[in-house]
Amino acid sequence: MLKVTDLHVYYGGIHAIKGISLSVKEGQIVSLIGANGAGKSTCLNTICNLVNNSKGKISFLDRDITSAPPHKIVKLGVAQVPEGRKVFPQMTVAENLDMGAYVRKDKSGVRHDMGKVYKLFPRLLERKNQLAGTLSGGEQQMLAIGRGLMAKPRILLLDEPSMGLAPLLVREIFSIIREINSLGTTILLVEQNANMALSIANYAYVLETGRIVLEGEAKVLAADEKVKAAYLGG
Amino acid sequence: MQPVFGFALFAVFVALIVVLARNKKRFPANPISSFFFGFIIVLLAIGAANYFMVAISANRLYFWQQTIYGVSLGSVYALIALGYTMVYGIVRLINFAHGEIYMIGAYAGFFGVTSLGFPFYFALIFAMLTAALAGVIVERIAYKPLRKAPRLAVLITAIGMSLLLQNVGQKIFGSIPRSFPRQFTGLYRIGEINLDQSRVIVFAVTFLLMVALQYFVTFTKPGKAMRAVSQDRDAAQMVGVNVDRTISLTFFVGSLLAGAAGILVAIVFPQIRPTMGLMPGLKAFVAAVIGGIGIIPGAVLGGLIIGVSENLVTAYISSSWRDAIAFGLLILILLVKPSGILGRNTREKV
Ligand SMILES: Nc1ncnc2c1ncn2[C@@H]1O[C@H](COP(=O)(O)OP(=O)(O)OP(=O)(O)O)[C@@H](O)[C@H]1O
Ligand SMILES: [Mg+2]
């Protein structure tokens, strides 16, 4: 469904991604794990064409989207839940969700999906009219995920959804990710929390300073000695 | 003698307040000095207030008339300030060519009324659309190619654009002022106050435009996209907002309002000239900063404050203070609250 081939990304003189290839099959959860600065966020941003200087090929549903403008990519069904949430701080929770559905024209479908998001995150319903900037970090994360879902994406790119959350909330968020996936949305999940990520993913890639050093079935990777040593805390 | 005295008292009073506001932590520490300062401030306040009360009560109707005229003038500043603030909110650029867009609006209105023989309200719409077109063209040719350039480069381009438009204006329209045909010469009577019809019309039209803008920004999809881009450009792109188009739209709407301001000012002060954008442009920029740049209600508030103080200063002190008051207010308000009256007190985030 999503296919990245031989991708290079440069920030000025820095060669941040040095030729990676990956693919995500429809219906799967694919995880991209790696240490700080490995290039995970860069990879997601490049898929959405938010980065200027890149080489390589990206295709989605067999269409070349390498140089499609960002808003067209969203229209095709790729939504990103960015690192650090990036909710619209001066808009209410409801307005943020509404913005998520910006590219959609089917009003009744949007209303229906808004109901679904509120069912997934009852906390957001309680705070519907609160300004997003005043939400707690965990609530902002829920809102960011909800906003991503409102685009009714075919694939959802999640960038470190567990960052800065209490362990209990992390578990809740991950079970919600699984639920979203079981409802038919394909997921590409970037994570530092390799343990959790590998536990829900079908397939995973390990990224190290801009290169993929390991890939395979999530279960296999979770059992791999090297991965255990480097990412799973022994 | 007396006016200067009252004004001086008032200035010392304000200066002391500023000093106190800046030194919140130190003054209350010493009860004797804070009592002393408090005493002086109260004396000054009574002195200044006394002067103003005497001046105002001598002719109350005149005071109200001048205040209402101030609101009318201020609403025009607000209209121009909105363009500055919206553009700043979305691209963090102070569009110095905005005053010239206002000038273009005034000339479009002039030719609409004279050469084309439009009725006034038709000419108003014509002026708005012409200015909006000019604003979008300026954005396309001068700012869009610099989207990724350092901010200073864009700022200098904006100043260059302003000078260029002034000079092109002089070439095309000639540097001799033209007089806008008199419109709305009647008088309105509210209670016992006489008001020029033209000033009332200016206020009414401005008010309607602001209501329309508020509706546009709050409820329509392109309006929401504008807010989204100004709050977080990356996130706006991630939900599928076409950022380039939204930026153009912002220039369009801001220039629409400046064009309206141009023709509206011309019905009160009927002299139009190619350099007319300079002063109102600067003052409207000051209004936007006073209110808190990037914040839409702030621009309206700043415009009204400047308009009213300008008119009252002209009426009670001297017209030579008229242009100084806006900049004086700017310095005072920024000393007390650097982010502007409605500005959020945060460090600038880039
Ligand atoms: N805008 C930028 N300008 C310059 N360098 C950048 C920029 N964004 C990222 N980089 C660099 O690219 C490399 C990869 O960054 P990236 O944000 O993709 O890492 P990451 O894997 O997401 O890390 P983390 O887990 O900390 O979020 C880093 O070395 C970073 O410093
Ligand atoms: Mg990252």
Nearest ligand to residue A82 Cα: 2
Instruction: Note whether B181 and B301 are same-domain residues.
Output: yes
- The pLDDT of A188-211, averaged and rounded, is 93
Decide if A71 and B221 are in contact by the 8 Å CB cutoff. Answer: no
pLDDT, residue B34, reads: 66
pLDDT, residue B1, reads: 43
pLDDT, residue B345, reads: 62
Q: Is the pLDDT of residue A62 over 70?
A: yes
Instruction: Note whether B9 and B92 are same-domain residues.
Output: no
Q: Phi/psi of residue B349, each to 5°?
A: -105, 140
DSSP, residue by residue, B276-311? TTHHHHHHHHHHHHHH-TT-HHHHHHHHHHHHHHHH
**Cβ atoms A221, A198 nearer than 8 A:** yes
Residues with CB under 6 A from ligand 1: A 11, 14, 16, 34, 36-42, 83, 192
From A18, A32, A40, mutation site for ligand 1 pocket: most ligand atoms within 8 A of C-beta: A40
Mean pLDDT of chain A: 94
Instruction: Note whether B267 and B205 are same-domain residues.
Output: yes
Distance CA B106, CA B266 (A): 7
pLDDT: which is higher, B28 or A128? A128
Decide if B342 is inside a domain: no
Which tens digit of pLDDT belongs to each residue from B35-75?
777 777 777 777 777 777 787 788 888 988 999 999 999 99
Number of domains in chain B: 2
**Pairing state between β B271-272 and B178-179:** antiparallel
Tell me what percent of the residues of chain B surpass a pLDDT of 70. Answer: 93
| Chain B hits for A48, Cβ within 8 Å | 237-238
Q: A1-77+153-164+189-234 adopts what CATH topology? A: Rossmann fold (3.40.50)
Length of chain A: 234
Q: Which residues, including other chains, have CB under 8 Å from residue A155's CB and lie 6 or more apart? A: A1, A2, A24, A60, A77, A78, A79, A185, A186, A187, A188
Mutate to test the interface with B, among A45, A102, A131 (most CBs of B within 10 A): A102
Instruction: Note whether B228 and B306 are same-domain residues.
Output: yes
Q: Is the pLDDT of residue A5 over 90?
A: yes
Instruction: Note whether B23 and B172 are same-domain residues.
Output: no
Residue A156 pairs in a beta bridge with A79, A187
From A33, A36, A41, mutation site for ligand 1 pocket: most ligand atoms within 8 A of C-beta: A41
Whole-angstrom CA distances from B221 to A72, A95, A99, B225 are 17, 11, 9, 6
Instruction: Note whether B178 and B307 are same-domain residues.
Output: yes
Decide if B40 is inside a domain: yes
Structure tokens at B216: 């546009």
- The pLDDT of A60-81, averaged and rounded, is 96
Instruction: Note whether B28 and B75 are same-domain residues.
Output: no
- Among A51-60, A145-154, B26-35, B287-296, the minimum mean pLDDT is found in B26-35
Instruction: Note whether B110 and B45 are same-domain residues.
Output: no
| DSSP state for residue A211 in the 8-state scheme | E
Decide if B228 and A98 are in contact by the 8 Å CB cutoff. Answer: no
| DSSP state for residue B339 in the 8-state scheme | T
Could you tell me the pLDDT band of residue B321, with boundaries at 50, 70 and 90?
A: confident
Decide if B228 and A91 are in contact by the 8 Å CB cutoff. Answer: yes
The upper half-sphere exposure of residue B147, i.e. CA atoms within 13 Å in the direction of its Cβ, equals: 13
Q: Is the pLDDT of residue B28 over 60?
A: no
Q: Which domain holds residue B75?
A: 59-336
Instruction: Note whether B211 and B272 are same-domain residues.
Output: yes
Q: Is the pLDDT of residue B342 over 70?
A: yes
SS3 B178: strand
Find the A39 Cα to ligand 2 centroid distance in Å.
7
Query: b vs e for B166-192, b when ≥16 Cβ sit within 10 Å of the residue's Cβ?
Result: beebeeebeeeebebeebeeeeeeeee
Find the A34 Cα to ligand 2 centroid distance in Å.
9
Residue B194 maps to which CATH number?
1.10.3470
Instruction: Note whether B53 and B65 are same-domain residues.
Output: no
Structure tokens at B71: 């609101």
**Pairing state between β B187-190 and B193-196:** antiparallel
Instruction: Note whether B268 and B205 are same-domain residues.
Output: yes
Greatest Cα pair distance in chain B = 72
Decide if B68 is inside a domain: yes
Atom of ligand 1 nearest to the CA of A45: 18
Mean pLDDT of chain B: 89
Distance CA A73, CA A58 (A): 11
Distance CA A158, CA A83 (A): 8
**Pairing state between β B178-179 and A78-81:** unpaired
**Cβ atoms B80, B261 nearer than 8 A:** yes
- The pLDDT of B287-292, averaged and rounded, is 94
In chain B, what are the helix, strand and coil shares in percent, each to the nearest 5? 75, 5, 20
- The pLDDT of A186-208, averaged and rounded, is 94
Could you tell me the pLDDT band of residue A76, with boundaries at 50, 70 and 90?
A: very high
pLDDT, residue A164, reads: 85
Positive or negative, the CA dihedral B169, B84, B204, B137 is: positive
Q: Is the pLDDT of residue A133 over 80?
A: yes
pLDDT, residue B318, reads: 84
pLDDT, residue A13, reads: 87
Which tens digit of pLDDT belongs to each residue from B90-100?
999 999 999 99
Q: Is the pLDDT of residue B350 over 50?
A: no
Atom of ligand 1 nearest to the CA of A14: 5
Decide if B344 is inside a domain: no
In chain A, what are the helix, strand and coil shares in percent, each to the nearest 5? 40, 30, 30
pLDDT, residue B32, reads: 72
B228/A contact by beta carbon, under 8 A: yes
B319/A contact by beta carbon, under 8 A: no
- The pLDDT of B156-181, averaged and rounded, is 95
The residue out of B58, B80, B100 marking a domain boundary is B58
Which among B106, B309, B75 is positioned nearest to B205, based on CA atoms?
A: B75
Residue A155 pairs in a beta bridge with A78, A186
- Domain residue extents for chain A: 1-77+153-164+189-234, 81-152
Atom of ligand 1 nearest to the CA of A9: 12
Distance CA B321, CA B72 (A): 19
Q: Is the pLDDT of residue A23 over 60?
A: yes
Q: Counting one residue from A and one from B, how many pairs have CB atoms under 8 Å apart?
A: 64
Q: A interface toward B at CB cutoff 8 Å?
A: 48, 50, 52, 69-71, 74-75, 79-80, 82, 86-91, 95, 98-100, 102-103, 147, 151
Please give the residue of chain B at the shortest CA–CA distance from A145.
B239
Query: b vs e for A106-145, b when ≥16 Cβ sit within 10 Å of the residue's Cβ?
Result: eeeebeebbeebbebbeebeebeeebbeebeebbbbbbbb
DSSP, residue by residue, B201-219? HHHHHHHHHHHHHHHHHHH
Instruction: Note whether B156 and B232 are same-domain residues.
Output: yes
**Pairing state between β A186-191 and A203-208:** unpaired
Distance CA A44, CA A86 (A): 15
Q: Is the pLDDT of residue B253 over 60?
A: yes
